[in-house]
Structure 1
């Protein structure tokens, strides 16, 4: 499990360590890690460290100190280092003295920043809130080389990842001691995240991500005594005359995700069976047979017939995943979920979330999801590049997709089928949602990357469709079950 911590949680962990170490020792640990990452980036991007140049954007406070100390360490390795002090009177004194002692150059913010190979962002740290101030924003706009951020990209909220104005877009973010929530919720601004250990002792995190190997180890597959029924039977209610594709995508994803049995109930039996003849399909919900979970809503329609169908499914005593049109119908009658005894998983995107609650998710998407879960007594998966999953009164899972390739029509239908099949296999809804989101995002990244044997070598990504994503789902599960490391996973993003 990979934990993501709030700024307050990190500061609490830092306090006893700072009290036990000589003054400045913890900062120098962080700076050493930052300097090491910058040196590696210089080597990869330019072929060398010595003789290269970095510019450091220095704000007030400890992050500016971290950056100055890192600059001093790089200077000792032959790097030409220039520091731009955004608030000279509040620059970290010992860091500035160390930087000057090794010949570091101090530049006025109005001066030309020179021709650095990399820029180090030490403007604000985890105590910073709000967008960049105008002078800092002007500096950042002038930068034309990659930026390495110290702890987090300045201008991005450390706890929510929200961006409310000018902010740094980093190529790499070096996190000191712990991953912060911004590294998942604001990943688009963070670039690659490198974690530098500094000796923090951390408790359980309120937000976690499943490691790829954990997802693979928990993925259901048939044992020696299993048959099609014992592995879990999922029922799918999806599609309509207007949207038959939703039924095909949802049932096909459920089939691909596990080796059990899929039952379909709805008007699109011909389309479903043409694509997946192994599905047991019927037009009448009453004839569908026994299932261990239901998926209801994708492309189903929002007429009175859809409303009756949703009510019937939610009156069952098995876990139910509600998506798309099912969520629109639920907005008028939330008690259909609140009064259930069996688990319910809601899977809205931001627009559907607004229909359910009357407002868009706020900048703190985690708080928004937790509030809906508590109010309705349901599990909630809020879709996005960072998918946030909450259960009533419990902790939060997050899945940072590494990209937004799955932002395409029908991809949500695929996700519903995956997660519904995992729920039918007996996996708790919040964990099934986290596992399904991980497999789904990896399949999207694989699809966007293309054929590794093709002329592009599999590296030039291109837009995808839901059907192309679905075609990569088996390979995604195979990679997860092989226990591929997070570092290798990032190569597939």
Structure 2
């Protein structure tokens, strides 16, 4: 599992480690890893032109020591010093001894125009509030250059703990981060500035749990439900789907499609789209009664394409089983009722729906996704899956937030979220916790989107059909 920790936690671990190491040893570890990553990116180091953008902190020191290593291998290295009086003295001395040079920001433009590689050491993980004008100008010049850009620890201008981007920021092709990932490297919008991320182990002893977790194949594989020799369709779990309307029958069909591929043994459907559902999936158990009279289920999904059917939402929320609330259900669900539930609740809004629930503009959610998902989970006392390019899943009582980035932009298509709801609801019925059901479903859904699209447009039904391939891929 990939984990990320807050700046405060990282700083504490660094202080503890530095107390046990010779002075400067930790920075040398970081610089060695940074230099190796830069060399790999360059391919050939000798004769290449490298420009270091150096701020006043240890982040700039890491860049200078790494630049010294590249200079000793024959690269032409120039450090642009944003704060000459506060530049890391040991790092600058090492660079100059290795044959590197320094320059003022006024000379940066021609240097960056000719560079093969730019190393961003302007601001470290302690930077907050956006870049100052001179640093912002250099970030823009680096972005406009033809050079590859490597960020030291995280791109300058992004907020390490929140993933927010407050103004100009460096756009990196590669970020070399030390000890652990930082939340801003995994959460949008900052994640979009990081490029590829390479983690360098510098020996930090970090606590458990982390602030953020990102499941990987092995983590998903051990959470997937599998039938045993004694299993029947009821022991495997039954998921109820209360979705669709005369106007949106397809939402019901797609939610059922996702549910049938999520590990539960049977799917019950309740709603006005029964004919469309049974025509496409004859294995579905349909009912023309309300949710409370449909028969026993181990979890419910309510809301996709439901229109204004508040009675179905109320009936489902009254059930003493895990419930997933999506789409119209989010609008119709009473906050007090959700908070009063004793069984788990999983809410799956996109940014616009989350904004409506929080009473803020959509842009406010998109700019502060991590804070928004935590706030919404606390407000409703529910697990919240915030959909987006990176999906976030937060529990109602704090703890680590799960982040998922397996998806593709092709998943931004009508009905994709209905498939995700059915899939996650089926995993709830199969016995997964709300946090695991949401994060495993997001992971599989993202992979299925990639497999279905394969570089070309795909519909939501294609995504549902690719879920078994995604499931098998995590096991392989």
- TM category, shorter: over 0.9
Cα distance 1:259–1:371, how it changes in 2: closer, same or farther (>3 A)? closer
Residue number in structure 1 paired with 2:369: 365
Give the whole-Å Cα distance in 2 for the aligned partners of 1:97 and 1:462.
Answer: 52
Give the whole-Å Cα distance in 2 for the aligned partners of 1:233 and 1:214.
Answer: 24
SS in 2 for 1:175: strand
Match for residue 428 of structure 1 among 427, 433, 446 = 433
Specify every segment of 5 or more residues in structure 1 that has no aligned partner in the other structure, as ranges. Answer: 451-460, 483-493
- Shift in Å at residue 408 of structure 1? 2.2
- Shift in Å at residue 259 of structure 1? 5.1
SS in 2 for 1:153: coil
Residue number in structure 1 paired with 2:23: 23
Residue number in structure 2 paired with 1:241: 246
Q: What TM-score do you get using the length of structure 2 for normalisation? A: 0.93
Residue number in structure 2 paired with 1:226: 231
Cα distance 1:374–1:259, how it changes in 2: closer, same or farther (>3 A)? closer
**Mapped contact 1:219–1:481 kept (Cα < 8 A):** no
Q: Does residue 70 of structure 1 match 2:66?
A: yes
Larger displacement relative to structure 2 (80-89 or 423-432): 80-89
Q: Does residue 470 of structure 1 match 2:470?
A: no
**Mapped contact 1:181–1:207 kept (Cα < 8 A):** yes
SS in 2 for 1:359: coil
Larger displacement relative to structure 2 (84-93 or 137-146): 137-146
Q: Does residue 215 of structure 1 match 2:212?
A: no
- Shift in Å at residue 58 of structure 1? 0.9
Residue number in structure 1 paired with 2:445: 440
SS in 1 for 2:250: helix
Give the whole-Å Cα distance in 2 for the aligned partners of 1:428 and 1:259.
Answer: 14
SS in 2 for 1:472: helix
- Shift in Å at residue 72 of structure 1? 0.4
SS in 1 for 2:52: strand
Residue number in structure 2 paired with 1:301: 307
**Mapped contact 1:385–1:404 kept (Cα < 8 A):** yes
Give the whole-Å Cα distance in 2 for the aligned partners of 1:200 and 1:238.
Answer: 49
Residue number in structure 2 paired with 1:338: 339
- Shift in Å at residue 288 of structure 1? 2.2
Give the whole-Å Cα distance in 1 for the aligned partners of 2:171 and 2:444.
Answer: 27
**Mapped contact 2:346–2:384 kept (Cα < 8 A):** yes
Q: For 1:45-444, list aligned pairs within 5 A.
A: 48-111=44-107, 112-113=110-111, 114-142=113-141, 143-185=145-187, 186-204=190-208, 205-258=210-263, 260-285=265-290, 286-302=292-308, 306-330=309-333, 333-360=334-361, 362=365, 363-395=367-399, 396-401=401-406, 403-444=408-449
- Shift in Å at residue 134 of structure 1? 2.2
**Mapped contact 2:321–2:343 kept (Cα < 8 A):** yes
SS in 1 for 2:246: coil
- Shift in Å at residue 463 of structure 1? 3.9
Give the whole-Å Cα distance in 1 for the aligned partners of 2:451 and 2:40.
Answer: 27
**Mapped contact 1:244–1:299 kept (Cα < 8 A):** yes
- Shift in Å at residue 201 of structure 1? 0.5
Q: What TM-score do you get using the length of structure 1 for normalisation? A: 0.90
**Mapped contact 2:59–2:123 kept (Cα < 8 A):** yes
- Shift in Å at residue 282 of structure 1? 2.4
Cα distance 1:282–1:157, how it changes in 2: closer, same or farther (>3 A)? same
Over residues 383-412 of structure 1, what are the superposed CA-to-partner deviations in whole Å (9 max), with x where a residue is unaligned?
Answer: 122222122213122223364332222111
Give the whole-Å Cα distance in 1 for the aligned partners of 2:456 and 2:115.
Answer: 31
Cα distance 1:313–1:402, how it changes in 2: closer, same or farther (>3 A)? closer
Give the whole-Å Cα distance in 1 for the aligned partners of 2:58 and 2:407.
Answer: 29
SS in 2 for 1:398: strand
Cα distance 1:92–1:464, how it changes in 2: closer, same or farther (>3 A)? farther
- Shift in Å at residue 130 of structure 1? 2.5
Give the whole-Å Cα distance in 2 for the aligned partners of 1:267 and 1:400.
Answer: 35
Q: Does residue 480 of structure 1 match 2:449?
A: no
Number of positions where the alignment pairs a residue of Structure 1 with one of Structure 2: 462
Residue number in structure 2 paired with 1:457: none
Give the whole-Å Cα distance in 2 for the aligned partners of 1:406 and 1:256.
Answer: 18
**Mapped contact 1:268–1:283 kept (Cα < 8 A):** no
Larger displacement relative to structure 2 (136-145 or 177-186): 136-145
Give the whole-Å Cα distance in 1 for the aligned partners of 2:120 and 2:464.
Answer: 40
Specify every segment of 5 or more residues in structure 2 that has no aligned partner in the other structure, as ranges. Answer: none
